[in-house]
Structure 1
Amino acid sequence: MKTPFRLAATAAALALAGAGAAQAQEVTLKFHHIWNTQAMAAVNVIAPWCDKIAAESAGKMKCQVLPAMSGGGTPPQLVDRVKDGVDDVIITLPGYTAGRFPAMEVFELPFMTNSAEVGARAAWDYLQKNALKEFPGTKILATWVHDEGYVHTRDKPVKTLADFKGLKMRAPTRQTNKLLAALGASPVGMPLPALPDAVSKGTIDGFLLPWEVMPSLKLHEMVKYHTETDPSRPALYSAVFVFAMNQAKYDGLSPELKKVIDNNSGAAYSQSIGKLWDNSQTAGRKAATEHGNVFYRLPLAEMDNWVKASAGLYDDWTADMDKRGLNGKQLLQDARDLLVKYKK
């Protein structure tokens, strides 16, 4: 029979063992994403984030990175994979699943912003107020928009609205596909990984894309013409990204490891990612310049024609939000007010 002293000693030993196990919690986060290992986001966002959480957790938390959808599934499935715990952490575009995240689509309407950093700050605040409920079971670590999106074509330049007629053009999201249709093109929706094959085979004549991602996919070698909008005006389009973690995975972390995640997420982190996207334009454009491609700056008068042609998309979006029980006009105004608030 154990004495009270021995029982107390046993209990103390078990308590110490439990405390030691908690202190020694080691976590590997399965980090699944859409880019190849050479892409700007893989090099400048994902790798540094994984290095930081490893360093700040003294090696107790690390990433198992699965680039270019190597963990299985398709880019539109990433939002469910992280929600369901198949993946622990992902970066993707909510817009890949058309209509699934309607409130966040507001930043994908045409001519909203021409700074990824400003867009990131606005998108984070807007998400907290209006769209967190769109991501159940998911902890959003950051959200942002990419730098200015432009028109890139294989065989002929796009200088006017009329030049879009007959062109099969790729765009990433529902709103950018609607934009292409409004401008006169035939929109073809597809996620980023499918783009090089579609261009090289002639399945599409061109695409909308920012400069940032083009070199890693060698897309500047597959097209010849680039139509850019005037930097004094909001960009033709942008798209929203989310950096997301499975909520249950986060909830299961020790307080120490939660703090590491918290220190590497949020408003300031979103802003820093947006800044990275802005700073990536020069290198992306340089690759196309060195390849001998042809650039065209859209005159402001012609840009006004594009703005006018796509104006109905705002009414369509607000009406769609109203049908879903949301206040579309207020959501649009919130996004615009935030973009003005953070405008440089």
Structure 2
Amino acid sequence: MRATVMMGGLLAGSLLAASLTLGASLTLGASAAQAQDVTLRLHQFLPPQATVPSKAIDPWIERVESQSGGRIEIQHFPAMQLGGAPPSLFDQARDGVVDIVWTVLGYTPGRFDKTEAFELPFMVTSGEATSRAFHEYVTENALDEFAEVQPLVFHTHGPGLLHVKGDGVRSIDDMQGLKLRGPTRVITSMLDRLGATAIGMPVPAVPESLSKGVIDGAVIPWEVTVPLRVSELVGTHTGFAGDHGLYTATFAMVMNRDSYESLPDDLKAVIDANSGVEAAALFGGAMDAGDLVGQQRAEEAGNTIIILDASETDRWRAAAEPVIDDWIAAMNDEGADGAALVERARALIAEHSAQ
């Protein structure tokens, strides 16, 4: 009997130990599940060391993950690692191929027409101020163009410049015959109006196109010249007098609608808290800081930086004015008030630039 009791005690002890082990495992499993409730995949077209991926997207990811208490993990796939070309990114988010994308809106021409007001000549001031203005503008005027996704951030870069081989561009007359890369239909139309031959292409194609002579130069902001090593491929860089740059491009970070809607309310709140005007300022401000680095690299390379004076800048403004008129007319044909959209864009840029 004594032995039987001892065996029973050992058995009970073993069962208790097993129960405790199982309970601990279940608790750890539950904690692990709670610690990483959601994994989201973010896809974009630039290399990881470029300004926006390293100085805006990665900090944005860190904020979301931290504020979620580790319950959201965001995997960042740069340089189109998940396949496709840059113009396919928006559809990848819409269709659920990935959860989040960051892309240039102008890579899909004719799709986000009302956002193009910010691409018009001599609208942009700084990246941060214009990004604040752009996010507010889209929220007011163009959310219908993003009904298929969950918008997170709308922003722009800072003033775009001309980066050209050889003697470069010292007046509007030097534009004649130049083959210049443009990022979007509005900007390529502007370059054509200014006398160049515009060639549209995504920015990752610029270095090879410059090397092979497909283009003589490109319009891009200073910040993106660094990862593309543009200062090693051209000899001159041309900017403009005054507070407004020649152009800017527009960007969006958007999320698959089902991916967003499937989140519990507290995790939706984390995404919402990291969307909007302040997030736009993060992206635009990062590009402003990157512009300083890009200009410094060009100076270190011994390149020539040309700033056109006010009189010459006015010549460019006058030559580019028909681009604005054409855009207004096109928007009117679509049933929108093109002039009102341009005026609202200008007012918001002025308001945020003054701050």
**TM-score (norm: length of structure 1):** 0.91
Q: Which moved more, 1:127-136 or 1:50-59?
A: 50-59
Letter in 1 for 2:339: K
Q: For residues 266-290 of structure 1, what are the alpha-carbon distances to aligned partners after superposition, in whole Å with 9 as ceiling and x for unaligned?
A: 1111122212222221111111111
1:175 to 181, 186, 198: 186
Looking at structure 1, the residues matched to 292 and 38 of structure 2 have their Cα atoms a distance apart, in angstroms, of 37
Contact 1:29–1:62, Cα closer than 8 Å, also in 2: yes
Q: Which moved more, 1:46-55 or 1:170-179?
A: 46-55
Q: Percent identity?
A: 40
Contact 1:126–1:335, Cα closer than 8 Å, also in 2: yes
In the other structure, the counterpart of 1:11 is: none
In the other structure, the counterpart of 2:290 is: 280
In the other structure, the counterpart of 2:304 is: 294
Q: CA deviation at 1:164?
A: 0.8
Q: What SS does the corresponding residue of 1:203 show, helix, strand or coil?
A: coil
Q: For residues 149-187 of structure 1, what are the alpha-carbon distances to aligned partners after superposition, in whole Å with 9 as ceiling and x for unaligned?
A: 000001221011111111100010111101100110000
Q: For residues 93-147 of structure 1, what are the alpha-carbon distances to aligned partners after superposition, in whole Å with 9 as ceiling and x for unaligned?
A: 1111112110000000000121111111111111111111101221111111101
In the other structure, the counterpart of 1:110 is: 121
Looking at structure 1, the residues matched to 35 and 167 of structure 2 have their Cα atoms a distance apart, in angstroms, of 60
Looking at structure 1, the residues matched to 115 and 187 of structure 2 have their Cα atoms a distance apart, in angstroms, of 13
1:153 to 159, 164, 178: 164
Q: What SS does the corresponding residue of 2:106 show, helix, strand or coil?
A: helix
Question: Once superposed, which parts of structure 1, at least 4 consecutive aligned residues long, lie more than 6 Å away?
Answer: none
Contact 1:172–1:190, Cα closer than 8 Å, also in 2: yes
Q: CA deviation at 1:332?
A: 1.1
In the other structure, the counterpart of 1:13 is: none
Q: CA deviation at 1:23?
A: 5.3
**TM-score (norm: length of structure 2):** 0.88
Contact 1:137–1:248, Cα closer than 8 Å, also in 2: no
Q: CA deviation at 1:24?
A: 6.2
In the other structure, the counterpart of 1:242 is: 252
Looking at structure 2, the residues matched to 332 and 311 of structure 1 have their Cα atoms a distance apart, in angstroms, of 12
Q: For residues 34-58 of structure 1, what are the alpha-carbon distances to aligned partners after superposition, in whole Å with 9 as ceiling and x for unaligned?
A: 1101101111111111222222222
Looking at structure 2, the residues matched to 38 and 267 of structure 1 have their Cα atoms a distance apart, in angstroms, of 24
Rg comparison, structure with higher value = 2
Report how many residues are paired: 325
In the other structure, the counterpart of 1:207 is: 218
Q: What SS does the corresponding residue of 1:99 show, helix, strand or coil?
A: coil
Q: CA deviation at 1:216?
A: 1.0
In the other structure, the counterpart of 1:323 is: 333
Letter in 1 for 2:178: L
In the other structure, the counterpart of 1:143 is: 154
Contact 2:123–2:247, Cα closer than 8 Å, also in 1: yes
Identify, as 1 or 2, the structure richer in helix.
2
Contact 2:93–2:254, Cα closer than 8 Å, also in 1: yes
Listed as ranges, the gaps of 5+ residues in structure 1 are 1-16
In the other structure, the counterpart of 2:38 is: 27
In the other structure, the counterpart of 1:6 is: none
Contact 1:83–1:136, Cα closer than 8 Å, also in 2: no
Letter in 2 for 1:161: I
In the other structure, the counterpart of 2:106 is: 95
